[in-house]
Chains A and B, each alone.
Chain A
Amino acid sequence: MYDREQLREKAKKAVAKAAAIGPDINLDEFQKSPVDHKYLDDDEMRSLPVAEQQRLIMAGLDLTEKERGGTYFQKDTAVIHCKSKQEGVEVIPIRKALEELDWIHDYYWKLVSVDTDKYTAAAELELHDGYVIRSLPGAKSVYPIQACLYLDKEGLQQNVHNIIIAEEDSELHIITGCSTSPHLKKAAHVGISEFYVKKNAKLSFTMIHNWAEDMQVRPRSVAQVEEGGLFLNNYICMKPVKSLQMYPTTHLIGDDAVARFYSIIVGSPGSEYDVGGRIFLKKPGNRAEIVARTISNGGKIIARGDLIGEVPDIKAHLECRGLILNGGVIHAIPELRGYADGVEMSHEAAVGKIAQEEITYLMSRGLSEDEATSTIVRGFLSVDIPGLPAQLKSEIDRAIAASDETVM
């Protein structure tokens, strides 16, 4: 297709282009050729080894599919399971969509520029797969759709492109996890995501990352939210990673559109995270909130936040709190940019330690020092996320509870 040719030409010019921020990765160290994996039917999926299932559950993928509206499961470069159980919700591998569906070209690379950097370029030139999840107009999904991008092949660079569309008046919840095989050490993940939240639609997207110690991760995502739409973006990363850099951006392009970002990051020794959120408020009545909770256990965390108010009658708030528990670095960079009279924007940032008086207070109620510390840490990480379905709330709680061993 002509469109695609143009994209490839553009991408080729960016293959050597380093990202604006974050450590540069030498992509030549990774192999990109497809890895074959057999497509699994429902029964085969449920008979995966228990250890593997457990690992997938930590990334939010429940193979029993109880309380899930559909599943997309990609292992390395291959789609091994893909279906929707819910009327009004479509789940399609993106390569299939690009071949069979004309409308996908109205969305593909329309928010993220293909020549942003070498990672976006790689995702076009050597696209493995990815998912398209779309809720049809008016469809209200009861259960979240689950998606999992799994890495098994040592030394692979997984290139993924996802497109998520919540059509007018629809409601869509997605939980997406990224995880690796227990034996995997070194690999890279490049993930492009484009989100379209249409008029009065509601989209919640909860991403749980469970990487390995020598993983390089470069997500690139952009969302746009139309009039009256709501985009809720949650990000949880409690496990080590070599380096992760992402700066998801949202454009509120319709009146009264709302975006909320919540992220919870625990930084392990040797890991480097450069994570942020950027929201453009372009229409009256827009609301945005960015909340980040970070804990460093010896890792390096850069927590960015950028709110841009372009018109009057917008409200935006950014909250970034960090705890340094066992060494490491937390660098909070909150930014506010107001371009009009009548914007209301604020931020609060704090980096510190657990207050001794909170520990002693809990100890006087009978907890040991360690129990008191983990209670405070769990409290610190538990953020109230309005509008999140109960199942997803419990997924987040589970990830936080499991973080105890990482944190302590």
Chain B
Amino acid sequence: MLLVEDLQVELAEKTILKHIDLEIKPGETHVLFGPNGSGKTSLLMTIMGYPQYKVTGGKIVFKGVDITHSPINERAKLGIGMSYQRPPTIHGLKTRQMVQICATARGKKEVDVEDLARRVYFSDFLERDVNAGFSGGEIKRSELLQLMAQDPDFMLFDEPESGVDLENIAVVGNTIAALLQKECAPSKNKSMLQMKRERTKMGLIITHTGHILDYVTVDKGQVLYDGVLSCSTNPREILRCISEMGYEECVRCTIENN
């Protein structure tokens, strides 16, 4: 379980997240909406542990461990993983090696890189330097491939649909669903209810368009407005409100919440 309590965060001495409370239970996936600059990426980066995001109040607890001030790699080892929107290029480091690193760091010795790559149609990129000259969609598939090898228990996705073409959106969407154990496929020996109960993976997905909802059944939607989590409810309802009334309407809820 991820528990965020009264979290306050500063970036470059400016408060960017205010009194955030968030609870994600095992098996749950939430989506995070919010206008540009509202603090969505900051929330993800803070949970992942980026040191420039300075926690000035509150705490983050994951699997019962207070990780508020833990270094990034310890959080990764504990089972938090992130799919980035604009990850850096690392020259001389092959994608294949990167996938191997992801698996090894989580204690898995053997990983079938080829097989994982095939699943996201990324076999041709294994010998290329990580993110070097990758298009938007290629970056997304590369990030997913790394997460597949890393197999975290809690996954943060920063706009997984942005820059992905129509052909690849299904690949990206279905891969995320599989990672989060949200696949909708019948099993011979288990009922859907049983499978649902056995879900352990957690997710937090930033989305602007909501396209990801067509592939991943999401448990809850959150709206972040000006550093404040202003609403937490059915994601489809949020999406509908935003598309009809825009984020301006969120201002009122923000004021009410404070």
Contacts and interface: CB of A to CB of B under 8 A. Distances in A.
Contacts of A375: 90, 93, 101
A98 to B, nearest CB: 44
Question: In this complex, which of B75, B81, B90 has the most chain A Cβ atoms within 10 angstroms of its Cβ?
Answer: B90
B239 interface: no
A53 B241 CA distance: 74
A7 B81 CA distance: 69
B146 interface: yes
A381 interface: yes
B94 to A, nearest CB: 8
A364 B73 contact: yes
A364 B90 contact: no
Contacts of B77: 366
Given A358-B88, A360-B72, A379-B129, A365 B102 contact: yes
Interface residues of A, number: 22
B76 A379 contact: no
A363 B73 contact: yes
B101 A376 contact: no
Contact of B101 (A355, A366, A383): A366
B71 interface: yes
Contacts of B92: 378-383
A85 to B, nearest CB: 33
Interface string A358-391: 1011111111110010011011111100000000
A357 B87 CA distance: 8
A369 B76 CA distance: 13
Contacts of A357: 88
Contacts of A369: 71, 73
Given A357-B88, A358-B88, A366 B50 contact: no
A375 B73 CA distance: 14
Contacts of B102: 365-366
A358 B132 CA distance: 13
Given A376-B93, A379-B129, A364 B81 contact: yes
Nearest to B81: A364
A366 B105 contact: yes
Question: In this complex, which of B72, B93, B98 has the most chain A Cβ atoms within 10 angstroms of its Cβ?
Answer: B72
B71 A362 contact: no
Interface string B37-66: 000000000001111000000000000000
Contacts of B84: 361
B188 interface: no
A347 B88 CA distance: 23
B181 interface: no
Contacts of B75: 364
Nearest to B73: A363
A360 B98 contact: no
Interface in A210-266: none
Contacts of A361: 84, 87-88, 90
Interface in B90-129: 90-93, 98, 101-102, 104-106, 129
B229 to A, nearest CB: 23
B101 A363 contact: no
Contacts of A376: 90, 93
Given A365-B98, A367-B105, 18 more contacts: A358-B90, A361-B88, A363-B72, A364-B48, A364-B72, A364-B75, A364-B81, A364-B82, A365-B81, A366-B73, A366-B101, A366-B102, A366-B106, A375-B93, A376-B90, A378-B92, A380-B92, A383-B92
Q: Which 4 A-B pairs have the closest CB atoms?
A: A366-B105, A379-B92, A379-B93, A363-B72
25 contacts: A360-B51, A361-B84, A361-B87, A363-B71, A363-B76, A364-B48, A364-B75, A364-B82, A365-B81, A365-B102, A365-B150, A366-B77, A366-B102, A366-B104, A366-B150, A367-B101, A367-B105, A368-B73, A369-B71, A375-B90, A376-B93, A379-B91, A379-B92, A379-B93, A379-B129
